[in-house]
């Protein structure tokens, strides 16, 4: 649709991931075969950047992507919490 090769898109995603703008989260399934087949989702660390990219800064009650916004928020905050917990258990 964009006229880009999958290799180019992968490079862009890699750059965004290394600059801590996005992160990819693999699927979860109790069946390992299904888990390998399912694709990974992409989430933004900062929802402000997400909203700017899609061009929607409307209040929550005026949005049609509320579910996706909450999903991104909850996953990102959980990932941040897990990351902070890792570092808080390390003796410096």
- pTM for the whole thing? 0.80
Q: And the tokens for 87?
A: 């570092």
Mean per-residue pLDDT pooled into runs of 10, the chain (92 residues): 90 96 85 68 96 95 95 96 79 56
Range of the domain at 61: 6-88
Residue 49 lies in a domain: yes
Q: Classify residue 72 by burial, with Cβ atoms within 10 Å: 0-12, 13-18, 19+.
A: buried
41 within some domain:
yes
Q: Which residues contact 56 (CB under 8 A, 6 or more apart)?
A: 63, 65
How high is the pLDDT of residue 33? 67
Q: Which helix (H) or strand (E) holds 84?
A: helix 66-88
In a domain? residue 1? no
Q: Is 44 helix (H, G, I), strand (E, B) or coil?
A: strand
Give the pair of three-digit tokens for residue 82: 């897990």
Question: Number of folded domains in the chain?
Answer: 1
Q: Which of 64, 76, 73 is nearest to 23 (CA)?
A: 76
Beta bridge partners of 42: 24
What pLDDT is recorded for position 31? Answer: 74
Residue with tokens 């990102």: 76
């Amino acid at each position: 649709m964009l006229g880009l090769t999958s290799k180019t898109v992968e490079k862009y995603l890699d750059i965004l991931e290394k600059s801590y703008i996005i992160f990819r989260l693999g699927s979860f399934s109790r069946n390992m075969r299904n888990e390998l087949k399912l694709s990974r989702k992409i989430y933004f660390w900062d929802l402000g950047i997400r909203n700017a990219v899609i061009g929607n800064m409307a209040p929550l009650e005026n949005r049609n992507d509320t579910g996706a916004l909450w999903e991104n928020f909850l996953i990102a905050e959980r990932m941040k919490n897990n990351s902070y917990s890792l570092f808080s258990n390390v003796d410096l």
